[in-house]
A and B are shown apart, each in its own frame.
Chain A
């Protein structure tokens, strides 16, 4: 290893450090309970969603949320997204981005602290640690203990629980992409697609390694978000802060009782460090390892209560309020930090995108027609002297039932139309074409106008032959050549 020696000689510098395992202590409090609640909700959504059913009739899958890559459809309860409507997904992503800005500007890294998958699964694995090995002190003891049969058995047991959780995690992911019960059965009878096994394998491995072993290192070294967040935080954002003007100088209860003027409220019990899932000391100020999960607030508040001092030595507060408090201002209620021009602007942008998407969802048609005229050749002279143009029509039926569609000519007086299957003998101004459920049907349509018809614009009009009578108009052009060919 390339380790330069210090200039004056001595021990080798430590340029690479092995991970210092974080043995965080169990804690209870309002924020811990909120964390439990968020974990329950997010994991619940993740594991349960693929199993929800949604009756879409006989022609479409009955899974409530399904990303059907093979057929290029995205189903979400009553909403069905086609590839050309992918802007809905883009809109959702933009909303997620702005939502993240909103949350960050209002409450700092709350996403990191409560809802980020890395946080949720790390938390889960830490509870497994606690369940198998005991709480902080027992785990530290076990870590230091030499390897023996008992430790091997304990570690094996713990890691196999990790593995089961990881497998369920990776397994649930693929259920979003195919019919869940069928895939579940196929998976265990070894009939599923190799892609399914590969995906589960990769996700199991990443969950096992990231959640079980890398933990806070993912946040500190791998995740780009802590580096970006500084651009979104300001002195008006709610973050977890240690009020050093109140805490310092640290000293035990006994010392403080003897010399109350010299010592602050912090009794240096290190509880805030012991409970931290990323192993940092919040009293050193804002740092990249802090995911603002607020477990240190729970710990500190409990200690303050025990020693009879006011809560909030470590608290969710804005840096501005902290400074004001240090100057002697009364503490500001947290909700005030949420209402300010910046958060309101983000909320308005976020809501207007959401509103626009809802509106677009509400008015979108399930019938769509697009027309491309043949350009090679642009027109065709027939033996009776009439002129024929050919068009490729795409008839889209975005409903999960087959529908008859009427194609009609609008404009182009005297013209007739037929298709490959209808045939020129049945030429007419309107034709009915059956379009299968949830499908785009490509139809080649021939339009014939009598000899002498001039080149002109006209439209095809598609109308669904059901009670909705949805229609779509596609303007195009009729091409004609010179006379006498």
Chain B
């Protein structure tokens, strides 16, 4: 490329009139089109900034761990702070919840909403192992479904709260949830067993009743399960006149349950969880779709107790 050499040493590219920087590759020379000075200063500032940053913040990865920076900042520290702040923010809510009666929760929608969210989380941690993540229970293993309208020990807020707090059949807990069904293995012969099974099935209109079965039922079962199989929540005796069977409603399953009843146990959560969490769990379980009105509330509430006697058919 042509370039003249004026006396001041600057070499100018003829076609463009631009100064040359003196770099040449294969006959092509670089023109000098200067950048603005502020651009240069901005570049220097970024270098200074990066140096300051390296000193202040974690930056260089070393063999064991990285440099920590003189500010002592870390993203983990941020997380811990935020978790602490979230805990602190929840503290008021927990105190409010601890102070309130569980059946008064419904009068406080904000608190109820938080309790439901907290209850759902606590349920996922503590309850899904047996009752399933959707609270549908497990019929094979005898874990009750918590969504339906059948409650062995009662389905209003107070009853659910007591059940969660004290558990079911906990020997160390002198609570109320201690129902026991005796085993009739040896007490009935095969014909008697068939007869009483037929009578039990007839309570939910699935078989014809018979005199022997009715008599055996009256002698052995009425005390707990009631004359028409309506059950007794005080003793935890399940209803036999509905469509819901904790351990299956087939003839074989019912026979097995008469001969050698299996009775599930549930730990009491009072010892393991704080009172606020137990209340949140109560609210959540009650909200699953089968929760019953607390009796005390029904008087001034137009919506009556949803638990009715089996003929809700439309």
Question: Complex: how many Å from CA A381 to CA B32?
Answer: 84
Report which residue of A5, A6, A221, A416 has the largest number of chain B beta carbons within 10 angstroms of its beta carbon.
A6
Report which residue of A4, A382, A414 has the largest number of chain B beta carbons within 10 angstroms of its beta carbon.
A382
Question: Complex: how many Å from CA A6 to CA B29?
Answer: 12
Say whether A424 contacts B314, CB under 8 Å. Answer: no
Using A16-B34, A19-B37, A376-B134 as known contacts, say yes or no to A485 and B243 having CB atoms under 8 A apart: yes
Say whether B38 contacts A19, CB under 8 Å. Answer: yes
**B182 adjacent to chain A (CB < 8 Å):** no
B12 to chain A, nearest CB (A): 11
Say whether B243 contacts A446, CB under 8 Å. Answer: no
Report which residue of B9, B150, B245, B311 has the largest number of chain A beta carbons within 10 angstroms of its beta carbon.
B9
Which among A13, A217, A382, A385 is the interface contact of B32 at CB below 8 angstroms? A13
Enumerate B134-182 residues with CB–CB distance to A below 8 Å.
134-136, 139, 145, 147-150
Which among B11, B35, B250 is the interface contact of A15 at CB below 8 angstroms? B35
Report which residue of B136, B139, B239 has the largest number of chain A beta carbons within 10 angstroms of its beta carbon.
B136
**B68 adjacent to chain A (CB < 8 Å):** no
A51 to chain B, nearest CB (A): 36
Using A4-B21, A386-B312, A414-B314 as known contacts, say yes or no to A380 and B37 having CB atoms under 8 A apart: no
Report which residue of A4, A7, A416 has the largest number of chain B beta carbons within 10 angstroms of its beta carbon.
A7
With CB as the reference atom, state the residue of chain A lying closest to B311: A384
B21: chain A residues at CB < 8 Å are 4, 6, 13, 15
Question: Complex: how many Å from CA A138 to CA B152?
Answer: 97
**B74 adjacent to chain A (CB < 8 Å):** no
B39: chain A residues at CB < 8 Å are 16, 221
Using A4-B22, A446-B289, A484-B249 as known contacts, say yes or no to A384 and B34 having CB atoms under 8 A apart: no
Using A383-B239, A414-B314 as known contacts, say yes or no to A377 and B32 having CB atoms under 8 A apart: no
Say whether B289 contacts A390, CB under 8 Å. Answer: yes
Which among A214, A377, A427 is the interface contact of B314 at CB below 8 angstroms? A427
A385: chain B residues at CB < 8 Å are 242-243, 310
B134: chain A residues at CB < 8 Å are 374-377
Using A15-B32, A450-B313 as known contacts, say yes or no to A382 and B244 having CB atoms under 8 A apart: yes
Say whether A424 contacts B10, CB under 8 Å. Answer: no
Enumerate A6-24 residues with CB–CB distance to B below 8 Å.
6-11, 13-19
A485: chain B residues at CB < 8 Å are 139, 243, 245, 248-249
Q: Interface residues of B toward A: which range?
A: 35 or more
**A425 adjacent to chain B (CB < 8 Å):** yes
Question: Complex: how many Å from CA A464 to CA B149?
Answer: 32
Using A420-B287, A423-B303 as known contacts, say yes or no to A381 and B243 having CB atoms under 8 A apart: yes
Question: Complex: how many Å from CA A384 to CA B241?
Answer: 9
Say whether A383 contacts B36, CB under 8 Å. Answer: no
B30 to chain A, nearest CB (A): 10
Question: Complex: how many Å from CA A11 to CA B313?
Answer: 102
Say whether B10 contacts A381, CB under 8 Å. Answer: no
Say whether B148 contacts A381, CB under 8 Å. Answer: yes
**A42 adjacent to chain B (CB < 8 Å):** no
**A392 adjacent to chain B (CB < 8 Å):** no
Enumerate A364-423 residues with CB–CB distance to B below 8 Å.
374-377, 380-386, 388, 390, 414-416, 420, 423
Question: Complex: how many Å from CA A221 to CA B35?
Answer: 9
With CB as the reference atom, state the residue of chain B lying closest to A384: B310
Enumerate B236-264 residues with CB–CB distance to A below 8 Å.
239, 242-245, 248-250
B76: chain A residues at CB < 8 Å are none
Summarize A's interface: helix, strand, loop or mixed: loop
**B304 adjacent to chain A (CB < 8 Å):** yes
B136: chain A residues at CB < 8 Å are 376-377, 380
Report which residue of B244, B310, B311, B312 has the largest number of chain A beta carbons within 10 angstroms of its beta carbon.
B312
**B84 adjacent to chain A (CB < 8 Å):** no
**B99 adjacent to chain A (CB < 8 Å):** no
Say whether A380 contacts B9, CB under 8 Å. Answer: no
B19: chain A residues at CB < 8 Å are 13-14
Say whether A217 contacts B9, CB under 8 Å. Answer: no
Question: Complex: how many Å from CA A425 to CA B306?
Answer: 6
**B65 adjacent to chain A (CB < 8 Å):** no
Which among B242, B245, B303 is the interface contact of A426 at CB below 8 angstroms? B303
A116 to chain B, nearest CB (A): 20
Enumerate B7-34 residues with CB–CB distance to A below 8 Å.
8-11, 19-23, 32, 34
Enumerate B60-80 residues with CB–CB distance to A below 8 Å.
none
Using A17-B36, A217-B38 as known contacts, say yes or no to A425 and B5 having CB atoms under 8 A apart: no
A215 to chain B, nearest CB (A): 12
Say whether B10 contacts A6, CB under 8 Å. Answer: yes
**A430 adjacent to chain B (CB < 8 Å):** no
A217: chain B residues at CB < 8 Å are 36, 38
**A347 adjacent to chain B (CB < 8 Å):** no
Question: Complex: how many Å from CA A86 to CA B132?
Answer: 39
A377 to chain B, nearest CB (A): 4
A6: chain B residues at CB < 8 Å are 9-11, 20-22
Using A386-B313, A416-B314, A423-B303 as known contacts, say yes or no to A377 and B139 having CB atoms under 8 A apart: no
Say whether B10 contacts A425, CB under 8 Å. Answer: no
B47 to chain A, nearest CB (A): 13
A377: chain B residues at CB < 8 Å are 132, 134-136, 145, 147
A381: chain B residues at CB < 8 Å are 148, 243-244
**A431 adjacent to chain B (CB < 8 Å):** no
Chain B residues near A (Cβ < 8 Å): 5, 8-11, 19-23, 32, 34-40, 132-136, 139, 145, 147-150, 239, 242-245, 248-250, 287, 289, 303-304, 306, 310-314
Q: List 22 A-B contacts (CB under 8 A).
A: A5-B22, A6-B20, A8-B5, A8-B9, A9-B9, A14-B19, A16-B39, A16-B40, A19-B38, A217-B36, A374-B134, A380-B289, A381-B244, A382-B243, A384-B313, A385-B310, A388-B289, A390-B289, A414-B314, A415-B314, A420-B287, A424-B149
Chain A residues near B (Cβ < 8 Å): 1, 4-11, 13-19, 214, 217, 221, 374-377, 380-386, 388, 390, 414-416, 420, 423-427, 446, 448, 450-451, 484-485
Given A6-B21, A14-B32, 14 new contacts (CB under 8 A): A8-B11, A14-B34, A15-B32, A221-B39, A381-B243, A383-B148, A385-B310, A386-B313, A390-B289, A425-B303, A425-B306, A427-B314, A484-B249, A485-B243
